Structure 1
Amino acid sequence: MTKQKAPDKNLQNVAKDLEAAPVNSHQAQQMQQQANDRRHQDALNHEHN
């Protein structure tokens, strides 16, 4: 098994997202839309034809 030299980037991003607290409902909606957009783009990048 290899030793990990740097912190896991995925876990860093998750922690950063969890730290961000929306100020109001509009900001919360914007943050959710960004997450949805990233998820959608990831799905498009991994499609197999």
Structure 2
Amino acid sequence: MTKQKSPDKNLQNVAKDLDRNSVNSHNAQQLQQQVNDHRHQDALNHDGN
């Protein structure tokens, strides 16, 4: 196995998501939509077609 030189990016993202506290359900929905938008844009950017 290879030695990991830097912290796991997935774990960093999970920790960052857990640090976010939503004020109410609307704010929670807005935060989740922002995450979804970033993931969608990332998928579009990596689409090779």
**Percent identical:** 78
Q: CA deviation at 1:27?
A: 1.2
- In the alignment, which residue of structure 2 is the partner of 1:10? 10
The 4+ residue runs of structure 1 with deviation greater than 6 A are: none
> Mind listing any 5+ residue stretches in structure 1 that lack a counterpart?
none
* Number of equivalenced pairs: 49
> Mind listing any 5+ residue stretches in structure 2 that lack a counterpart?
none
Query: Structure 1 length as normaliser, TM-score?
Result: 0.76
Query: Structure 2 length as normaliser, TM-score?
Result: 0.76
